[in-house]
Amino acid sequence: MNFDPRFSGRKFTSVGTRPIRPDGVDKVTGRARYGADFNMAGQLVGRVLRSPHAHAKIRKIDTSKAEKLPGVKAVITAADLPDLTDGDAAMYDVLDNCMARGKALYDGHAVAAVAAVDARTARQALKLIEVDYELLPHVTDVDEAMKHSAPLINDAIFTEGLEEKPVKPSNVTKRSQFGHGDVHQGFGHADFIVERSFKTEQTHQGYIEPHACVASVSSDGTADLWVCTQGHFVYRQHCAQLLGMEASKLRVTSSEIGGGFGGKTHVWAEPVALALSRKAGRPVKLVMTRDEVFRASGPTSATSVDVRIGARKDGTITAAEATLRYSCGPYAGSWAEIGAMTAFACYRLDNVKTVGYEVLVNRPKTAAYRAPSAPMAAFAVESAVDELAKEVGMDPVEFRIRNAAQEGTRSSYGPVYGPIGIGPTLEAAKSHPHMKAPLGKNQGRGMACGFWFNFGGQTCTDLNIGMDGSVSLAVGTVDVGGSRASLSLVAAEELGIAYEQVKAIVADTSSLGYNDMTDGSRGTFSSSMATISAARNAIKILRERAAQMWDISVDDVVWENGHAIAKGEKHGNLGRLSLKEIAVASGKTGGPIAGHSELVADGAGVSFATHICDIEVDPETGATRVLRYTVVQDAGKAVHPTYVEGQYQGGAAQGIGWALNEEYIYGKDGRLQNPGFLDYRIPVCSDLPMIDTQILEIPNPNHPYGVRGVGETSIVPPLAAIANAVSNAAGVRMTHIPMSPPRILAAIEAKRAG
Amino acid sequence: MAGVAVSTTINGDHVEYLCQPDETLLDVLRDRLGLTGAKEGCGTGDCGACSIILDDRLVCSCLVLGAEAEGRRVETIEGMAHGDKLHPLQQKFLEHAALQCGICTPGFLIAAKDLLAKNPDPTEEEIRFGLAGNLCRCTGYDKIVRAVQDAASVMKGA
């Protein structure tokens, strides 16, 4: 039976309710097992030696002393991870990032690793490894790295995407461009033009759980990996490729995950743990310290963005242009490209052009962080839009409403929009009580919009009906924040049974077909689509079994409210059979009943949000206080509204930290100065107010229930919304994120000095 | 290095263990005693994920040595529920969805229990400052504060 994913308006029974999550009790009693909570008999402790230099040639590594230390069972270097990537440049970068091959490219780059009987011995062994470095000049700033005089990080890089292939290598790996119309002509029609440059500093996802795994390679070539990850199937593929294994011989189990936000989408320690286990012949547990997480996992890009927007006196934008430079760490990425796609996605523009530059720097390899690349682009664009509204003399909300994209608008990155939520979120913000609340002295209000694509991708789900009529739902997307609850609701809805009758689990890589990474806000979107498909397949079998039990044609059996019902007058006395009754009899009617689904979840509906915030600025110190914060976002359909609110609030809080406080600080020596939560300060409870949320539901036409991804969009507007609020409160335009007290004070003083 | 013999009380049970002199109480709980409810988020006392109560005082167990537990009372998340009956804070965290990934939850519950023991009727501000030693990256704290407020009112009525 072909699965029809199209939206069909229906009255929901389970979807939209707020039950307690199935994994909840384990999580409030300390029983839930995260990455570091798992142990195997005979396991060793793994530790990684990391480069203290930002850029250095590795002349020689001498591990002999470490190997002789009693209790050390394996020492590895890049030589133990031979290059099996077979010309796959992206995988070669992953391999090089796992263990430096000839050159250390950032402070924290792994150069060797040990496995020992305990942590103390492993730490001692690291000190006995002698690395002979030849220091090379380094560059950590994105603008500095683009200069012709900058030290070259990889002399094999020639900028892609230029009209003519460059003759010299550079730190710019790629140029990308998006847009339509003629911006030159558009600016010619403008009565007002705002042009500004912006910078954002590098931030980290800041998940509270450090990366952790337990690897066990057997002498027969099979292996097990227990790991906190957003995508165990992708980890299996990558680890198998790097270790030279067949994927099916590596079983990867995803632990409970203590936060990821995009940061647990890449392998770092896992291939190293597997290589250590292979060499030692024993299981190896490898857990990063917080210092290692900051120095050697994947933070977001630092950026430098120029924006130019023009409008007529009536408030219509005539042209919009942006140049975006994003740091990628020492390896090629597509971060500026994504920024260039998202920058103007909220608006209906006749003339738009964005250009992105991917820039190599001696910092850790950039990884995704919640709507990766979009918040920085939105910061620049939405700041300029606010300024332009002022120039035109319009209210910033009215100005945005006038220019908002609509159904049928050709987006700035290409596709034509279906039904979208930017207009409705703006209208909801306009009429929100927050907009009319009075402000005090030194207080400012700001608002901003945000966009995220959302993703679907490959998804495989099994729905198994037990002999007692209870339902096991096995999904392959990782539960990063309540998706087992939302997917159980969807299974209950489709089957017509109670939520409590369904138990959802995240299956390991040997128990289920391939699933893409749980990223792009796809967890509930794609796995609910697969769950609906699996449930419909199970219902087909349930109807067949009922028909068999009644000895009638399956065409006369329909499924309603969790029961098979015989249709037609001739079957009037047959009554109905519950799912449980059919399941109990299944041994005599053909055996186990299950529904499976393998699909590519296309049609993830784009998502928009509008945020409002009030900030107080102390003009004497530059200190800020968030007074009030409101999130309005389109969810398509909120499957479990409490967890949707949670996504909105969490994204806003991360954005607040990014806007006001968080940044990677590098010294002149290229070393990270603040690799800990004391000096890289994320928002704490006393920093924040309650975060008000408003869920809009504009159904996604490409999902049976109208669901859109909800996880990421909420981090897109905050940087700009807060920058607009701070700028209004301080009376000076802020152009550099984070707006820490010294930056705000400097801006105020510069203005006072005229 | 010779181990230190420690005799202590954990969640009301008498417990004896050997640990290294430089081993943290968090490592003892997790690696020697199998009590993995306390988490290591930083190892430097900044995140509160390893919060426990030591003789009625809220501490980060990563900043306490295993040897220091000698003769004292340790309360961990594993001892918070009574049998299968959840503590009101645990119940309210579930009802308010005050957790997303859940890694910080044991620390928050312990810290909130300590807060309510000392201040049974806290204002929102007192809750926010009382829990400021615990980091959560998922929730924005909104639902955590509400869960603690709700639990406080339930516990007052009990």
Question: Looking at the structure, do residues A225 and A339 belong to the same domain, yes or no?
Answer: no
Residue A91, in any domain of the structure: yes
B18 — contact with chain A (CB < 8 Å)?
no
**Structural domain boundaries of chain B?**
4-79, 88-157
The answer to whether residue A51 is domain-embedded is yes
Instruction: Tell me: do A268 and A348 sit in the same domain.
Output: no
In B49-68, the residues whose Cβ lies within 8 Å of chain A are: 49
Select the CATH number that applies to the domain covering B88-157 from these four: 3.30.460.10, 1.20.120.1200, 1.10.150.120, 3.40.50.720. Answer: 1.10.150.120
Tally of domains in chain A? 3
pLDDT of residue B1: 65
d(CA A233, CA A247): 9
CATH 3.30.950.10 fits B4-79, yes or no: no
Q: Are residues A447 and A345 in the same domain?
A: yes
Return the bridge partners of A599, or none.
A459
* B57 contacts: CB under 8 Å, gap ≥ 6: B114
Q: Calculate how close chain A gets to B17, using CA atoms only, in Å.
A: 17
A689: closest chain B residue by CA = B142
Is A408 part of any domain? yes
The yes-or-no verdict on residue B127 having pLDDT over 90 is yes
Give residue-wise pLDDT tens across range B16-27: 999 999 999 999
Same domain (yes/no): A316, A420: yes
Residue A188 belongs to a domain: no
Asked if residue A487 and residue A464 are part of one domain, the reply reads yes
B interface mutation test: which of A21, A25, A26, A29 has the most B CBs within 10 A?
Answer: A29
- A654 and A746 both lie in a single domain: yes
* Residues A520 and A668 grouped into a single domain: no
Residues of B in contact with A208 (CB under 8 A): 39, 41, 47, 49, 101, 103-104, 135-137
Q: Are residues A375 and A485 in the same domain?
A: no
- pLDDT at site A469: 96
Chain A: closest CA distance from residue B37 (Å) = 4
Tell me the average pLDDT of chain A: 97
CA distance A288 to chain B (A): 10
Six-digit token string for B106: 């044991």
Fold match between domain B4-79 and domain B88-157: no
The answer to whether B140 contacts chain A (CB < 8 Å) is yes
- A532 lies in the same domain as A555: yes
Residue A662 forms part of a structural domain: yes
Residue A1, pLDDT score? 53
Q: For chain B, say whether A21 makes contact (Cβ under 8 Å).
A: yes
Close Cβ partners of A363 (under 8 Å, ≥ 6 residues apart): A106, A140, A202, A299, A302, A327, A329, A330, A664, A666
Contact at CB, A29 and B97, closer than 8 angstroms: no
Across the interface, whether the CB atoms of A27 and B81 are under 8 A apart is answered no
Residue A29: partners with Cβ closer than 8 Å, 6 or more residues away: B37, B77, B78, B80, B81, B86, B90
**Residue A5 counted as domain residue:** no
Centre a 10 Å sphere on the Cβ of residue A576 and count the other Cβ atoms it contains: 15
Q: pLDDT tens digits, residue range B80-112?
A: 999 999 999 999 999 999 999 999 999 999 999
Please give, one letter per residue, the 3-state secondary structure of A44-77.
EEEEEEECCCCCEEEEEEECHHHHHCCCEEEEEC
pLDDT per position as a tens digit, A251-297: 999 999 999 999 999 999 999 999 999 999 999 999 999 999 999 99
Instruction: List CB contacts (< 8 A) between B138 and chain A.
Output: 259, 481, 646, 650
What's the gap in Å between the CA of B107 and the closest CA on chain A?
A: 10
Q: Could you tell me the pLDDT band of residue B158, with boundaries at 50, 70 and 90?
A: low
pLDDT of residue A568: 86
Q: Is the CB of residue B40 less than 8 Å away from at least one CB of chain A?
A: yes
What stretches in chain A show pLDDT beneath 50? Answer: none
Q: Which of A582, A601, A620 is the last residue of a domain?
A: A601
Note whether B100 contacts A643, CB cutoff 8 Å. yes
Instruction: Report the sign of the C-alpha dihedral through residues A459, A465, A469, A475, in that order.
Output: negative
Secondary structure of residue A545 in the 3-state scheme: helix
Put simply, the answer to whether A27 touches B141 (Cβ < 8 Å) is no
Q: What is the pLDDT of residue A567?
A: 92
Residue found under tokens 């203590």 = A258
Give the pLDDT mean for B115-121: 97
Residue A193 resides in a domain: no
* ipTM surpassing 0.95: yes
User: For residue range A513-572, what is the model confidence (pLDDT) as tens digits?
Assistant: 999 999 999 999 999 999 999 999 999 999 999 999 999 999 999 999 999 999 988 888
B46, B90, B103 member nearest A34 (Cβ): B103
The reply to whether A262 touches chain B by the CB within 8 Å rule is: no
Specify the 3-state DSSP secondary structure of A97. Answer: helix
What is the domain-level CATH number for residue A56?
Answer: 3.90.1170.50
Instruction: List the 467-496 stretch of A: residues with Cβ below 8 A of B.
Output: 480-482
In a shared domain, residues A640 and A706: yes
Domain termination site, one of A296, A317, A344: A296
The number of beta carbons lying within 10 Å of the beta carbon of residue A625 is 16
Please state, in angstroms and rounded to a whole number, the distance separating the CA atoms of residues A461 and A476: 7
Range of the domain at A696: 303-454+605-752
Q: Quick one: which of A679, A626, A683 has its CA closest to A651?
A: A683
Is A535 within the bounds of a domain?
yes
B window 82-121, beta carbon within 8 A of A = 86, 90, 93-97, 99-106, 109
Is residue A219 domain-shared with residue A317, that is, in the same domain? no
A567 and A634 together in one domain: no
Using a CB-CB distance cutoff of 8 angstroms, which residues of chain B are in contact with residue A523? none
| pLDDT (tens digit per residue) in A621-673 | 999 999 999 999 999 999 999 999 999 999 999 999 999 999 999 999 999 99
